[in-house]
Structure 1
Amino acid sequence: MKSAVETLSPTRAKLTVEVPFEELKPSLDAAYQKIAKQINIPGFRRGKVPPQVIDRQVGRGVVLDEAINAVLPKAYTEALQENDLTPLAQPEIEVTKLEDNDSLEFTAEVDVKPEIDVPAYDAVEASVEDLEVTDEDVTEQVEALRARFGTLSDVERAVETDDFVVIDLAASQDDEVVEGAEVSDFSYQVGKGGMIEGLDEALTGLSAGESTTFTSQLVSGDLVGQDVQVAVTVKQVQVQELPELDDDFAQEASEFDTLDELTADVRERLARGKRLEQASAARDAVLEVLLEQVEIPLPETMVTEELNARRQSVEQQLAYAGITLEKYLEDEGQTQEEFEADLERRVRDAVAAQFLLDEIAVKEEIGVDQNELTQHMIRRAQASGQDPQEFVNHMLEHNHVPELVSEIRRGKALALIVEGATVKDASGALVELKNLQPDGSIAEPVAEEAAAEESAEEPAEA
């Protein structure tokens, strides 16, 4: 077999492959055997029909097609390996020459992984924002904990903002109640939002037993975006009574004896969370610095597919939250064009990062063991709310394991780069990443690292 490659672009190649006819013989024999078992010819037992009879009855062309379809995948794969190409999609294959008992030639156009000149990544420098836990952050968390231990009491007055109400609500159009758009005895805090638009305004000023109707639009279902009439009845008006912030509350709400101890723990937990956020920002910043140092051509078909997938994911998440894309953009103060441009920028950065990290993983000979793959699948299943065993079975059945292995290798490649990077916060302080634990705490350096640091700090002997 001979093959030649023509570079159509940095991310697309055209293979021309010549297959000697003798290499088709095993596939031709198999095709004759297969067809012989499928046809009935008088005077011959099923499966025992000679090739010359099949040629007359079925046609030589049918046999050739069967043989070619069998040999093309193997020949295509060998041509990729021979020319050191990594395909990114299914090829467009065309048989360009077929001479019976002589030769077969076909071409295959396919998107391929671009060649990348990997920049130096052993001493990347990047910066992130300062890690700061403010008194307001702590107060907000303590108040949220306090609200969990609050009690509701009925009041005999009109509804005000921040009140809790128990309501019946139903939407209708043309005097027909909309299916799935009615609830009873629903508890809601006025002013919290997240419900149908106009509800807070309609509730304010009503007392228990009173009703009103207002016009709004549904954000999901068959009538999404259409005007409906919403009838709401207040059944109870309640206020929340919060416990005093003292040592008794600390003992009731936590394992601590004093409010000071509880507050200190909240501050520490917030610091750990922000430390993890800072570490995530550091990884992004390091990767961004690397990407700025290299030009990575991107296959447009791959970008388009990823762009469509992410757009669909955003729309699904918004629909699940009961928000239209138009409403989301309005709340964010963003136009459709700005949204699309930002989405495309992030997709292009993500695809470029994949290519770069793949190259680094190859260069560093990064591997993945069975335990790493299992743990990765379990985390993916938990993140998507799926049963781990069902998720694993699905990945195996649909041959997604290579994709998961690539994800792990990229993650390990990025971790390697980040560990060797120098990342400082806005104040100029070094950000600890190497000994950062999954819970946001900082572990003590291992013995070898501590010894190396002590050695580095000792003055050189004369």
Structure 2
Amino acid sequence: MKSAVETLSPTRAKLTVEVPFEELKPSLDAAYQKIAKQINVPGFRRGKVPPAVIDRQIGRGPVLDEAINAVVPEQYMAALQEHDLEPLAQPEIEVTKLEDNDVLEFTAEVDVKPDFELPSYDGLEASVEDIEITDADVDEQVEALRERFGTLAPVERAAAEGDFVTIDLVAAKGGETVEGGEVTGMSYKVGRGGMIDGLDEALVGLSADEEKTFDSELVGGDLVGEPVQVTVKVSAVQEQQLPDFDDEFAQLASEFDTAEELTADVRERLGRGKRLEQAAAARDAVLEALLEKVSIPLPEVMVTDELNARRQNVEQQLAMAGITMEKYLEDEGQTQEEFEADLDRRVRDAVAAQFILDKIAKKEEFGIDQAELSEHLVRRAQQSGQDPQEFANHMFEHNHIPELVQEIMRGKALATIVEAATVKDGSGNVVELKNLRPDGTIGEPEAESAEAESTDEAGDEAAAKSDED
């Protein structure tokens, strides 16, 4: 085999491969044997038809096609290795010359990983914001804990923000109820939002057995974004009554004896969470600092595919949350053009980061063991809400294990550059970054994690007991 490579762009290459016919002989022999088992020729047993007879009966063409289909992928892979190319997609292959008993020539155009000089990644510097835990943050967590133990009591008055109401709701267009636009007996907290625009405003001031009609837009279904008339009727109003935050409540909701101890624990847990958020921000800042040191050409097809995937993911999440894109952009203070520009920037950074982390992993000659792969499989399953064994079976059956291995390798590369970096907060303090997992995610010390969970578990157990009582 002889091969040559032509660089069409920094991310696309064209291979020209020439295969002498003697190298095709094993594939030709296999093709004749396969076809011999598929045809019936008088005077010959199935599978024992000689090549010359096959040529006379069905022609040489089908044999050559079978042999070429078998040999081209093998020769293509060999050419990639010879020229040290890493493909990013399936190639576009064309047979350009076929002279029987002489030579086979084909070309393969394919997107490939760009070649670039790896910058120094030892001792990078970055900065993040200070950790700030305000009294308001603590109060919010305490309030949420009180709400978990709150009770609902019927009231003979109009609904106000924070009340729970039981409602019937009908959405109509042109006087006809839209499909899926009717609910009955639903419990809803006034002011919660996220359901349909105008609902909270309509509910405030309504008493039991009163109704109101208002204009809004559908947030789901085939008519998403369409204007509709919504009629909401209140059948009951309940006021949430919260327990006092005192020592008795602390003993009910946690393992602590006093409200002061519980408050201190809430503040400490918030601090741990903030430290994890800061560590994640530091990780991203270090990677961004590295990306600023190198210019990497990106394959536009890969960028476009990732853009479309992320855009679709955003739209699906908004649809599940019952929020239109227009509402989301309004809440974020962005125009459609600003959203697209921001998405494009983040996608290009992400693609470039993949290339640079892959190169670092290759340079450092990282490897992984079965325990690391198993741990990553379990974590990915938990993130997607699937049974770990079912998730692992799916990954193996659909040959996704190489992708998971690549994720772990990139994580190790990321951990290498982050742990060697110096990151300071706004006050000049060095941020501790020694808890990166092998996949590059931020971990929490086991003791702290267990301690953090204990208060939540105690609260859940006490809440369950309170419900039983």
Q: Which category of TM-score, normalised to the shorter sequence, fits these structures? A: over 0.9
Aligned to 1:448: none
Deviations 1:211-248 (Å, cap 9, x if unpaired)?
22223221111222223332222111121122112111
Superposition deviation, residue 276 in structure 1: 0.4
Superposition deviation, residue 175 in structure 1: 4.2
Alignment-mate amino acid for residue 167 of structure 1: I
From 434, 439, 444, the equivalent of 2:444 is 439
8 A Cα contact 2:377 2:388, kept in partner: yes
SS in 2 for 1:158: coil
Matches within 5 A, 1:14-413: 14-413=14-413
Counterpart-to-counterpart distance in 2, 1:428 and 1:133: 18
Aligned to 2:465: none
Q: 308-317 or 165-174, which moves further after superposition?
A: 165-174
Counterpart-to-counterpart distance in 2, 1:353 and 1:193: 37
Counterpart-to-counterpart distance in 1, 2:139 and 2:35: 78
Gaps of 5+ in 1: 444-462
Deviations 1:290-346 (Å, cap 9, x if unpaired)?
110111111111111111111111111111111222221122121111111111110
Superposition deviation, residue 57 in structure 1: 2.1
Counterpart-to-counterpart distance in 1, 2:318 and 2:445: 30
| Residues 362 and 187 of structure 1, relative CA distance in 2, 3 Å threshold | same
8 A Cα contact 1:275 1:440, kept in partner: no
SS in 2 for 1:143: helix
8 A Cα contact 2:151 2:240, kept in partner: yes
SS in 2 for 1:57: helix
Superposition deviation, residue 30 in structure 1: 0.9
Counterpart-to-counterpart distance in 2, 1:250 and 1:316: 40
Counterpart-to-counterpart distance in 1, 2:224 and 2:155: 36
Alignment-mate amino acid for residue 114 of structure 1: P
Counterpart-to-counterpart distance in 1, 2:161 and 2:143: 18
Counterpart-to-counterpart distance in 2, 1:328 and 1:247: 42
Superposition deviation, residue 440 in structure 1: 6.1
Counterpart-to-counterpart distance in 2, 1:130 and 1:189: 35
Counterpart-to-counterpart distance in 2, 1:438 and 1:205: 48
Superposition deviation, residue 439 in structure 1: 3.0
SS in 2 for 1:348: helix
Deviations 1:44-90 (Å, cap 9, x if unpaired)?
22222221222122111111111001000100011111111111111
Alignment-mate amino acid for residue 297 of structure 1: P
Counterpart-to-counterpart distance in 2, 1:145 and 1:255: 14
Superposition deviation, residue 154 in structure 1: 1.4
Counterpart-to-counterpart distance in 2, 1:384 and 1:180: 28
Aligned to 2:424: 424
Counterpart-to-counterpart distance in 2, 1:435 and 1:74: 43
Superposition deviation, residue 435 in structure 1: 5.5
Deviations 1:376-398 (Å, cap 9, x if unpaired)?
11111111111211211111111
Counterpart-to-counterpart distance in 2, 1:258 and 1:279: 32
Q: 346-355 or 52-61, which moves further after superposition?
A: 52-61
Counterpart-to-counterpart distance in 1, 2:299 and 2:89: 10
Deviations 1:142-167 (Å, cap 9, x if unpaired)?
11111211221111111222222111
8 A Cα contact 2:213 2:229, kept in partner: yes
Superposition deviation, residue 14 in structure 1: 1.1
Superposition deviation, residue 200 in structure 1: 1.5
Superposition deviation, residue 184 in structure 1: 2.2
Q: 311-320 or 265-274, which moves further after superposition?
A: 311-320
State the identity %.
77
Q: 401-410 or 108-117, which moves further after superposition?
A: 108-117
Gaps of 5+ in 2: 437-441, 449-469
SS in 2 for 1:166: strand
Counterpart-to-counterpart distance in 2, 1:36 and 1:285: 64
Q: 148-157 or 40-49, which moves further after superposition?
A: 40-49
Counterpart-to-counterpart distance in 1, 2:317 and 2:225: 17
8 A Cα contact 1:272 1:441, kept in partner: no
Counterpart-to-counterpart distance in 2, 1:349 and 1:161: 43
Alignment-mate amino acid for residue 355 of structure 2: F
Q: 183-192 or 342-351, which moves further after superposition?
A: 183-192
Superposition deviation, residue 134 in structure 1: 1.1
| Residues 441 and 273 of structure 1, relative CA distance in 2, 3 Å threshold | farther
| Residues 364 and 381 of structure 1, relative CA distance in 2, 3 Å threshold | same
Q: 228-237 or 306-315, which moves further after superposition?
A: 228-237
Counterpart-to-counterpart distance in 2, 1:200 and 1:89: 50
Superposition deviation, residue 174 in structure 1: 4.2
SS in 2 for 1:305: helix
Aligned to 2:454: none
RMSD: 1.6
Superposition deviation, residue 43 in structure 1: 2.8
Superposition deviation, residue 289 in structure 1: 0.6
